[in-house]
Every structure is written in C-alpha cells, then in structure tokens.
C-alpha cells in the first residue's frame, strides 16, 4: 500500500506527457487528486490503528510513523485541494491567453513531481534521501515559481533556487556530521547509520559534541527551506509570484516538510543530550525572531499574496517556538498548529487566487468592495483572515493557545509573554491591512472585469468547513495520531 502511495504522484506526473488533449489532461489531474485524497484516509486509519506503516517488512525503504503521517496527510489533502482548484484556475488563464496548452501540461506535470518529492521526503527513513528529496522540491518548483515568465517571477525563481540550494547545502553538511558522530556502531551498521529510526534508537551512543554542531547546520539548512528569519528572503517572493495553487502548496506543505526534517533530527539530538535546553534556546530564538520580523513586514505590505507569505513566516516561527519548549503538550500544539496552518493558509492562498483572477491585480489598494464583487469568496477570505490571525472558533486559535499554555507550564514566562504580545500585534496588523480590501464606495469603484473560478470557490468553501470542524471537534484517529507523534518526538 505504501509503495502505491509513493508511486502514484510520480506516475501521474509522467502520464501528462502522453497526451496533449485538454480534457484528458484535466481528467488525469482529477483522478490523481482523488487518489491523493483516498490515500490520506488510508494512511490516517492505518497509522491510527497500527502505529506505523512500513515497506518492505523491516521499513528500510519506506517508513511512516505518526509524525510522518501528519505531514503526509497535510501534503495529500492540500495537494488534492490545490489540484482540483487548478482545473478552474488554469481554464481561466487559458481563456485570458496568459498561458497555452503546453504550459498547462508543464504545470500539471511539475506540480505532481513537486508533490512526489514531498511525499518522498516524509516517507523515507534515510536522512540522505530526505536531503535529496528536499533539494528536489526546490528543483521541481523553481519553474512553477517562474511560471508567468515576467520580470518579477523570474527574479523570484532565481532567488528561490539560489538561496534554497545554498541553504540546503549546509543541511547536508549537518547530516554528514551526524554520520561522523556514529563511531560506536561498528562496520556492519554503517549502512543503517543514515536511518533516523536507527539513530534514534541508538541515540545514547552518538557523540554529543559533534551532534551539537550538526544541529546548528541542520537548523540553518532546513531552516532556510522552512522560512526562518533571517534565511527567509526567498519566501515572500516565491509565494507571491507563483500561481495560487502552487503558493498554497509552497506555504501549506513545503514549509512543513522542511520543518519535519528539523523535527526528526531534533528528536535524535535531544535524546542524546538528555535535555532540550541547547536546542530549545536556538529554536525559541529563531521562532521569536521570525514572528517579530513578520509582524513588522506585514504592516508595510501592499501585495496581499506577499502579506500571506509573511504570515507563513510568522506561523513557522510559532512552530519553532513550540518545538523549543519540547514538552509533550507543546509538541501536540506544534503538530496541531502545523495541520491548522497548512489548511488555513492554503485556503487563503486559493481564495487570493480567485480574487486575483477577478480583479487581475495583487495590489491591496486596487481591490475594493470585495464582498460586493464576489460575495462567496469574499466571505471565505474574511473568515480565513480571522482564522489565520488566530480568532476562535478556528483551529489556529486553539493550537496557538496550547503552545502558549505549554510555555507557561514549562516556566518559559518571559519568552511566552513576548510571543503573546507579538501575536496580538500580528493580529491587529493583519486585520488592519487586509480588511481594507472589503471597504469601498459603491459609486466610485468600477466593477472588476475578470472571471470567477467556480470550481475554486467550491474548493475554498470545503476547506473552510474543514477548518471549522477541526477547530471545534477533532476526529478520534487524528487525536490519537497527534498524541502518538508528540510522544515519539519527546522520546517517550
């Protein structure tokens, strides 16, 4: 089963090259998307009841435990939503003659390749392959960022590939150092010394001094990809210039995959050191720095997709902060937040794509009277803004609350207070800047000419329902997986 989940995105990605019929391309895409959704259910149920899924029997090729299952689920669900959304989005772009059929095929193929690389990253037990997969995500999505081929998007794509390739190089150095810290294993275990579960089970035999240095390299390397300040500069550019379905994937799941890599190595390092103070300080500092920087930059944004991108930096910062606390409650909060952020942010990016198609601009100042021009998308976007800013009853609020409570319980009073103040600031700033889009005089404004992506609107409504449901009532298997994963990370 796991092998099928692993292979399907790759096969679908290649299938697009067999045809150039428009209907057939859409059909392949929809079939692929539905398969992704089915897989996510299968994984959730299987992992919730058995604790893990492996292929082959010893898990040397593919290994999914509760932590990987959470990230894998977000990848598959957001992947499904984005790909269904893409059908409507690309159809309108075709009609506007912004793209042609060949570019549409390229888009589909690269996006599935992108999903495949992320699936590979979270299903492989091998840290070397994990690194290769994360680097491959950059390569698969570089052309998607530069998809519109104008000055801005080319600049964004160049920055994206250069900064991420360099950053990820440091992560490889970190992994090599991790490998160097395994002298006690002997020759026959050499081939296993790259596997995280093997390293985790034998963490006490590793060399702590080398691990500390390795962790810094890993944090900088994968942190670049996860969007930690000050390595974040590629992120707002790439997220704002990419087509909206790709922005949703970048923000909703790519950042999580990089975060996943950090978490995996964090568990090994903390288990070896026997405490979380060393990694905790590093993670909390970068978390607070990210939230603070994002708050400042959100205030000065003129482009709504860029603003959403900065908000992603903020949320990755919150997760890093929670990881720094490293109590089971905090880790539960982090993983729950990961899920909430992925769904909420990708929904916002998808609705921002609808707004873009209607108004044909990304400038906040040129979008006026949103609720009048597009009532449904307007409402979804409004709820999305409240959700991402952290208002009840949406999931983001509850997970932020969990992380902050955990911080107080773990006696990190000062950092927690700083975080609360910063979150309040972000809330105010997001509301002030984005709510401008809903104002406007009926008489003075000219109605926007663009088209409405009906399929896209349906997808965003579905996601809104999902967010509210998860916020109010969490399904049993999900709670179980989250608790298990938090316990795994904490090493219990």
Partner 1 sequence: MGVYLNFISSLILISAFVLVANKRINAYVRTFRLQSMLLAICAGMFGINNFLRGEGFELLIVCLLTIAIKVVFIPTLLKSTIKKVEYKVEKDFFLNIPVSILICCGLFLLTYFTVSGIEGLDKTDIKMYLVNSITVILIGLFFMISRKKAIGQIVGILIIENGLFTAAILSTRGIPMIIELGIFFDVLTAVLIMGILVFRINENFDTIDINKLKKLRG
Footprint on this chain of partner 1 (rule: CB under 8 A): 126, 128-129, 131-132, 135-136, 138-139, 142-143, 146, 149-152, 154-159, 161-162, 165-166, 169-170, 172-173, 176, 179-181, 191, 194, 207-210, 213, 236-237, 240-241, 297, 300-301
Q: How far is the CB of 341 from partner 1 (least distance, A)?
A: 23
Q: Number of H helices and number of E strands within the chain?
A: 20, 2
Q: Which is nearer to partner 1, 309 or 357 (CB)?
A: 309
Q: Which is nearer to partner 1, 146 or 456 (CB)?
A: 146
How far apart (Å, rounded) are the C-alpha atoms in residues 32 and 30?
5
Q: How far is the CB of 240 from partner 1 (least distance, A)?
A: 8
Q: What is the dihedral of CA 176, 180, 181, 183, to 10 degrees?
A: 150
Q: How far is the CB of 132 from partner 1 (least distance, A)?
A: 4
Q: How far is the CB of 41 from partner 1 (least distance, A)?
A: 31
Q: Which is nearer to partner 1, 211 or 249 (CB)?
A: 211
Residue burial 239-249, b: 16+ Cβ < 10 Å; e: rest:
bbbbbbbbbbb
Q: How far is the CB of 357 from partner 1 (least distance, A)?
A: 22
Q: How far is the CB of 447 from partner 1 (least distance, A)?
A: 29
Q: Which is nearer to partner 1, 44 or 301 (CB)?
A: 301
Answer for the pair 171, 178: CB distance below 8 angstroms, yes or no: no
Contacts for 209-213 with beta carbons within 8 Å, 24 or more apart?
210/177, 210/178, 210/180, 210/181, 211/177, 211/178, 211/181, 211/268, 211/269, 211/272, 211/273, 212/269, 212/273, 212/278, 213/177
Q: According to the 3-state scheme, what is the secondary structure of 294-352?
A: HHHHHHCCCEHHHHHHHHHHHHHHHHHHHHHHCCHHHHHHHHHHHHHHHHHHHHHHHHH
Q: Which is nearer to partner 1, 66 or 272 (CB)?
A: 272
Q: How far is the CB of 373 from partner 1 (least distance, A)?
A: 27
- The residues near 60 (Cβ < 8 Å, ≥ 6 apart) are 125, 195
Q: How far is the CB of 71 from partner 1 (least distance, A)?
A: 20
Contacts for 26-33 with beta carbons within 8 Å, 24 or more apart?
26/87, 28/108, 29/83, 29/86, 29/87, 29/108, 30/83, 30/84, 30/87, 32/8, 32/83, 32/112, 33/79, 33/80, 33/83, 33/84
Q: How far is the CB of 9 from partner 1 (least distance, A)?
A: 18
Q: Which is nearer to partner 1, 32 or 236 (CB)?
A: 236
Q: Which is nearer to partner 1, 86 or 272 (CB)?
A: 272
Answer for the pair 175, 128: CB distance below 8 angstroms, yes or no: yes
How far apart (Å, rounded) are the C-alpha atoms in residues 471 and 103?
38
What tokens does 316 get? 């990755």
């Amino acid at each position: 089963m796991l092998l099928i989940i692993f292979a399907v995105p790759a096969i679908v990605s290649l299938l697009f090259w067999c045809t150039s019929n428009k209907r057939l391309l859409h059909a392949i895409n929809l079939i692929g998307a539905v398969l992704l959704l089915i897989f996510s259910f299968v994984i959730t149920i299987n992992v919730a009841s058995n604790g893990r899924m492996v292929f082959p029997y010893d898990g040397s090729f593919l290994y999914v435990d509760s932590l990987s299952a959470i990230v894998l689920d977000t990848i598959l669900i957001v992947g499904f939503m984005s790909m269904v959304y893409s059908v409507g989005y690309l159809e309108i772009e075709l009609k506007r003659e912004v793209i042609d059929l060949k570019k549409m095929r390229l888009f589909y193929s690269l996006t599935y390749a992108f999903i495949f690389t992320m699936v590979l990253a979270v299903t492989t037990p091998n840290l070397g392959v994990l690194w290769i997969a994360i680097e491959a995500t950059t390569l698969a999505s570089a052309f998607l960022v530069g998809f519109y081929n104008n000055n801005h998007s080319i600049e964004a794509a160049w920055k994206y590939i250069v900064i991420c390739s360099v950053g990820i190089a440091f992560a490889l150095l970190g992994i090599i150092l991790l490998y160097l810290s395994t002298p006690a294993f002997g020759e026959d275990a050499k081939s296993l010394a790259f596997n995280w579960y093997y390293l985790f089970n034998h963490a006490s035999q590793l060399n702590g001094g080398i691990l500390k240095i390795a962790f810094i390299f890993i944090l900088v390397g994968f942190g670049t990809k996860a969007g930690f300040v000050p390595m974040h500069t590629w992120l707002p550019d790439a997220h704002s210039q990419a087509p909206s379905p790709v922005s949703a994937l970048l923000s909703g799941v790519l950042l999580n995959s990089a975060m996943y890599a950090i978490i995996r190595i964090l568990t090994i390092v903390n288990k070896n050191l026997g405490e979380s103070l060393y990694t905790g300080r590093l993670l909390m500092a970068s978390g607070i720095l990210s939230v603070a920087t994002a708050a400042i930059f959100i205030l000065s944004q003129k482009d709504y997709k860029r603003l959403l991108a900065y908000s992603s930096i903020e949320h990755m910062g919150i997760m890093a902060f929670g990881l720094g606390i490293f109590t089971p409650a905090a880790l539960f909060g982090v993983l729950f937040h990961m899920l909430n952020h992925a769904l909420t942010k990708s929904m916002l990016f998808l609705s921002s794509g609808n707004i873009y198609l209607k108004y044909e601009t990304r400038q906040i100042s040129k979008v006026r009277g949103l609720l009048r021009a597009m009532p449904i998308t307007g409402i979804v976007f409004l709820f999305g803004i409240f959700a991402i800013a952290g208002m009840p009853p949406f999931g983001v609020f509850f997970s932020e609350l969990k992380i902050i409570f955990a911080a107080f319980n773990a006696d990190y009073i000062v950092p927690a207070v700083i975080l609360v103040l910063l979150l309040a600031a972000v809330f105010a700033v997001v509301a002030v800047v984005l709510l401008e889009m809903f104002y406007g005089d009926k008489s003075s404004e000219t109605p926007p000419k663009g088209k409405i992506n009906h399929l896209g609107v349906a997808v965003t409504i579905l996601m809104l329902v999902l967010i509210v449901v998860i916020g109010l009532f969490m399904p049993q298997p999900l709670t179980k997986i989250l608790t298990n994963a938090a316990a795994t990370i904490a090493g219990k």
